[in-house]
Every structure is written in C-alpha cells, then in structure tokens.
C-alpha cells in the first residue's frame, strides 16, 4: 500500500474485531487514492450486559403500549447508536411492532443514513434518511433537542439511544420542555490506547475524528509516540472538533468536511496541496 498522499488514522469507535464503517470504507479505497490507512479506534463499543438490556426493554413496555396512537421518536444521539441497535435483536423486534408509529432524529447526516439502513436491514421500518431530523450544525445537541421539541406533540414519546455512561442531557432537556422521554443506554464505550503507528515514507498524517471530547486523548496518544504535530492535519465534519483543537493545539491544521464519508475525505486529501517539507 502506497502512502504517497499521506497516512490516515481512523479514530472512530469500533466493535471488537471490526473496523468502524468509515474505517472499512477508507481501507477499501486506500490503494486507489495512494494513502495508507491505520485503524486506531480509541474507544471500543460493547453492548451492556443482559440484565441492563432487559431493563431497557421493560421500561419501553411500561411506558408505551404497542398499539397506542401517538408517535414514538427514536433519537440516535451518537454516530454509534444505529450500529448498537443492529446488535440488539430484542429491541429491533420491539421497534418493529411499533413500525408505523416511528419517527427518527439523529445527531448528524451520517448517523441518519446509518439508522435508515439498519432499520431496513432489521425490517423495523422503511424510510429515506432525508426524513430523519438532523441539526444543521453536525453534533449540536442543542439544535437537535430544539428540533425535536418543536415537532413533538404532548403525548408523543422520545426514545433516546445513547451510551450507558452518558449524562442524559438530551432526555433531561426534552423532559424539561414537557415531553416524555426514555433514556435507553444499551451500549457503552471502553477506552483503548491509540495503535502503534507504522513507519511512513510520507510524514503527513490525517487524523479522522468525530467527537470533540476525545481530541485531548488522541493528542496525548500521538505525543507518546513522538509524533510531530506540524505533520498532522485533523479532519471532521463537526465544528466542535476544530474548537477543541484550538484550545490544546492552537497551531494545528483543521479541515472541516461536509460529511465524514470516505470519498469526500479522500478527495479532500488528494486535492490538498502539501506545503514544502
């Protein structure tokens, strides 16, 4: 694999033994774009244990009659929520029974596309990703909760798909606005160290990030490997990642893309004019 156009580090969370969706897609196109791709999730995704999953299903059954006449809005609060749903068969069945009452909201467009695909694969509901509510600023919890609050009726129910360790800000905000909301924390993140980076002929590294909260940990991991920050460019679709970088690495180069999609990222890398090294 050539690294003529540089080396990509994919830091997005992944299930054990699997690449993240974007990581797999970038690896597939790596040769074509003359880049080397290093899979280095700094979080491993896991479903919570059986007892917690049963409690999540019990709470849904207690709050919602399958044949009720109001809408249920599924809120994917992280990019990993659709993947986690795909792994949780019993929840997929529970949603399938409510298929004609479901609406969807997601934290960004990539997540909207993912939840649409998962719902088709698991035969929950068939809807275009364009019907999913998303904030204009990718990753903005405030915008997402404002959108949901505006469009929800009083009796409607929101199911917040989030990691179990989440502080529950979305649910609290919606409840504060008078809506009914259930926190459904059925997956979790386990921190793991950044991978040992291989030697590279081209010293340019591109770091793909999708969460501002993990920027300091990624920076620490790269520093431990004596990486030169002047050789690193950071890519995300979220402005909050750029803001987080400014605080800890004010001279870092941040490149915002419209979507974290492999072809968009690779075209941006290919078209980027490297400064003289």
Model pLDDT, residue 276 = 35
Handedness of CA 261, 265, 268, 270 (dihedral sign): negative
The mean pLDDT value for 206-214 works out to 94
pLDDT at 82: 97
Sorted by sequence, the CB contacts under 8 Å of residue 8 that are 6+ apart come out as 26, 30, 35, 36, 37, 38, 205, 206, 207, 208, 265, 269
Q: Per-residue pLDDT tens for 1-51?
A: 567 889 999 999 999 999 999 999 999 999 999 999 999 999 999 999 999
Q: What is the pLDDT of residues 38-62, one digit of tens each?
A: 999 999 999 999 999 999 999 999 9
DSSP classification of residue 274: P
Q: How many CB atoms lie within 10 A of CB 2?
A: 12
Q: pLDDT by residue (tens digit) across 66-90?
A: 999 999 999 999 999 999 999 999 9
pLDDT in tens, 115-139: 999 999 999 999 999 999 999 999 9
Q: Which of 120, 179, 123 is nearest to 148 (CA)?
A: 179
pTM of the model: 0.89
Residue 275 pLDDT: 40
Domains, the chain, with CATH or none: 7-42+192-271 (3.40.50.10090), 47-189 (3.40.50.10090)
Phi-psi sector, 178: left (phi>0), alpha (psi -120 to 50), beta: left
User: Using the 8-state DSSP alphabet, how is residue 193 labeled?
Assistant: P
List, as one string, the DSSP characters of 55-99: HHHHHHHHH--TT-SS-EEEEE-STTHHHHHHH-HHHHHHHHTTG
CB 194 within 8 A of CB 11: yes
**Cβ 205 vs Cβ 6: under 8 Å:** yes
């Amino acid at each position: 694999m050539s690294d003529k156009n540089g080396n990509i580090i994919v830091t997005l969370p992944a299930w054990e033994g699997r690449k993240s969706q974007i990581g797999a897609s970038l690896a597939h196109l790596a040769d074509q774009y003359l880049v080397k791709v290093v899979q280095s999730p700094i979080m491993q995704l896991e479903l919570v244990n059986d007892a917690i999953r049963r409690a999540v299903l019990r709470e849904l059954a207690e709050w919602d009659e399958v044949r009720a006449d109001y809408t249920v809005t599924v809120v994917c609060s992280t990019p990993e929520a659709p993947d986690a749903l795909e792994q949780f068969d019993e929840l997929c069945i529970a949603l399938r029974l409510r298929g004609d009452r479901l609406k969807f909201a997601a934290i960004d467009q990539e997540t909207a596309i993912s939840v649409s695909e998962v719902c088709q694969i698991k035969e929950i509901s068939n809807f275009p990703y364009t019907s999913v509510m998303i904030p204009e600023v990718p990753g903005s919890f405030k915008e997402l909760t404002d959108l949901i609050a505006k469009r929800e009726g009083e009796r409607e129910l929101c199911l917040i798909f989030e990691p179990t360790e989440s502080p529950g800000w979305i649910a609290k905000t919606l409840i504060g606005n008078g809506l009914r909301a259930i926190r459904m924390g059925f997956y979790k993140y386990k921190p793991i160290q950044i991978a040992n980076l291989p030697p590279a002929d081209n010293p340019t590294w591109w770091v793909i990030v999708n969460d501002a909260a993990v920027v300091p940990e990624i920076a620490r991991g790269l520093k431990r490997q004596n990486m030169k920050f002047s050789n690193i460019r950071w890519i995300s679709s979220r402005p909050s990642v750029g803001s987080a970088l400014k605080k800890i690495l004010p001279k870092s180069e941040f490149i915002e893309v419209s979507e974290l999609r492999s072809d968009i990222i690779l075209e941006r890398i290919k078209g980027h004019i490297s400064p003289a090294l």
